[in-house]
Amino acid sequence: MENNTMQISREDLEDLREAFNKIDIDNSGYVSDFELQELFREASFSLPGFKVREIVEKFIAGDTNKDERISFEEFVAIYQELKSKEVRETFRKSISRRDGIRSFGGTSGISSEGTQHSYSDEEKVAFVNWINKALKDDPDCKHLVPMDPDTESLFKSVKDGILLCKMINLSQPDTIDERVINTKKLTTFTMTDLKDGKPHLVLGLLWQIIKIGLFADIEISRNEGMKGFRQVEGRGLVEQLQEYDSKAYFHLLDQIAPKGDGDEMSVFIDMSGINERDDERRAELMLSQAARLDCKQFVTPQDVVAGHHKLNMAFVANMFNMYPALNKPKNSEIDLTLLEGESREERTFRNWMNSLGVTPFVNHLYRDLVDALVIFQLYERIQVDVDYRKVNRPPYSSLGTNMKKDKLISTSLPVIDLIDTIAPNAVREEMVKRGDLTADDKLNNAKYAISLSRKIGAKVYALPDDLVEVKPKMVMTVFACLMGRGLKKAAG
């Protein structure tokens, strides 16, 4: 691909390099289509899903040498094509150069000369309003709240530590024994960054505290109506509900608003604003209806239209906590007593991983680690080298691809040998055909393997033909049943 980078300003080129490096998490110098999709999913876009997919397809089409990877030069060339279109301003949001971003020098005398930190005015305003509401009746915070969201008062208010301690206990009750909080003879933190009120660090810490509180109760074990979200917890559940669109929010508000059942008072949601053509005006009308449910926190009309990921996520989480609108399922076959929440140890490990900046975000300790990509990133954080050339990346091949290539399975000998290990002396060798097998030999082996499996107590439902034809799913059930029988036998 021809190198057209000279046609872009130095500032834009640096921004593109920063964006590319964010996507290229393995530092290979290339980006795959999967990594591109991750960028657009994490970026704050006000585009509908189909538009994002079109952009991703354009990037993939730019892979002119067809090596299924996109280099920085190819990345820049595609950006130039997009730059003249409406997508340009939205794309720049993903590399943190949008209105409402404030920049300032680094955190030390050395770094301030060459490093720029930034923070979002929108986030500052949202956090201040949330804290003002949460702590308005706390007698220990009367000297701190209400804070003015239009000034820098937030960064001064954290200096004595009281506000942070109170917010931590709101998110996770009894984390800090409030008897030990010094509320009389006030001093400042000894932690330099917080004492100095470094804006980006203060907002980052507050977001972690607020987020933990918002997602603390979004668990299957605490909401019996979550039958449809059986494998989703916390942030992952809220992200299933998010659309960042005021029309979708209108429908959501209408669904969760109390209908007057039982002793609750009904709340009417005026849906007329959904037909407003102006996006910002429609978002404003939607928020006026959210205010009727006391759920207007975190976002402004501009945040909704811009698709501010963090603030919209908090907005949805807060609505869910106040009005989950999930009823206990009737005649459910699920034993709700078996739905256990996340343990302290599991949450500690998960929070530690996320604090290291792994991608994607770990919502579930076990499910989100199954492909080991997060584990590899943890290796790197503790200075263990990872050879990413040997690492498989999504999309993964379908179940049974390698199984199909293994002709030995069609002989059923692996199944028979496994049975012999689980139940010694169960196999009669004279019944087993080995060596160069005919089709009839394979079928007879399969019949014998299925019969032996059932004889030793494994509840196998596969047919002999499934083994001969190496039907991946059915073969997996055979091994799973035998494994279960072996574990049961070992246990007692």
Would 343 be classed as within a structural domain? no
Domain boundary among 337, 369, 390: 390
Would 169 be classed as within a structural domain? yes
> What CATH code is carried by the domain that includes residue 70?
1.10.238.10
* CB-based contact 56:78 (threshold 8 Å): no
φ/ψ of residue 32, rounded to 5 = -95, 170
Domain boundary among 32, 62, 93: 93
Q: What is the pLDDT of residues 200-250, one digit of tens each?
A: 788 888 888 888 888 876 655 455 555 444 444 444 444 444 445 788 899
Would 337 be classed as within a structural domain? no
Instruction: Pick 359 or 135 by higher pLDDT.
Output: 135
Query: What confidence category does residue 88 fall into, taking pLDDT thresholds of 50, 70 and 90?
Result: very low
Residue partners of 63: CB distance under 8 A and separation at least 6: 69, 70, 74
Q: What is the pLDDT of residue 4?
A: 41
Q: Is residue 130's pLDDT more than 80?
A: yes
Would 335 be classed as within a structural domain? no
Would 101 be classed as within a structural domain? no
Same domain, 239 and 280: yes
- Which contacts of 239-244 are long-range, i.e. CB under 8 A and separated by 24 or more positions? 239/313, 241/316, 241/320, 242/312, 242/313, 242/316, 244/46, 244/304, 244/307, 244/309, 244/312
Same domain, 368 and 386: yes
Q: What is the pLDDT of residue 62?
A: 58
Angle at 8 between CA 7 and CA 10, to 5 degrees: 125
Question: Which tokens go with 11?
Answer: 């500032």
Q: What is the pLDDT of residues 176-186, one digit of tens each?
A: 888 878 877 66
Same domain, 87 and 9: yes
- What residues make up the domain containing 233? 220-322
* CB-based contact 21:93 (threshold 8 Å): no
**Cα 394 to Cα 392: distance, rounded to the nearest angstrom:** 7
pTM metric for this prediction:
0.51
Please state the rounded mean pLDDT for residues 62-87: 63
Same domain, 228 and 293: yes
Would 184 be classed as within a structural domain? yes
Q: Is residue 112's pLDDT more than 50?
A: no
Would 440 be classed as within a structural domain? yes
Same domain, 385 and 422: no
Query: What confidence category does residue 66 fall into, taking pLDDT thresholds of 50, 70 and 90?
Result: low
Q: What is the pLDDT of residue 167?
A: 92
Q: Which residue, chain included where needed, has tokens 């209806």?
A: 289
**Cα 35 to Cα 25: distance, rounded to the nearest angstrom:** 8
Q: What is the pLDDT of residue 348?
A: 83
Would 103 be classed as within a structural domain? no
Helix (H) or strand (E) run with residue 401 in it? helix 401-405
User: How many domains, in total, are found in the chain?
Assistant: 5
Measured CA distances, 275 to 45, 254, 272 (Å): 22, 15, 6
Please state the rounded mean pLDDT for residues 56-63: 61
Q: Is residue 31's pLDDT more than 90?
A: no
Same domain, 58 and 145: no
% of residues, the chain, pLDDT over 90: 18
Same domain, 210 and 259: no
Q: What is the pLDDT of residue 54?
A: 64
Same domain, 78 and 165: no
> What CATH code is carried by the domain that includes residue 479?
1.10.418.10
Q: What is the pLDDT of residues 245-277, one digit of tens each?
A: 788 899 989 999 988 877 778 899 999 999 999
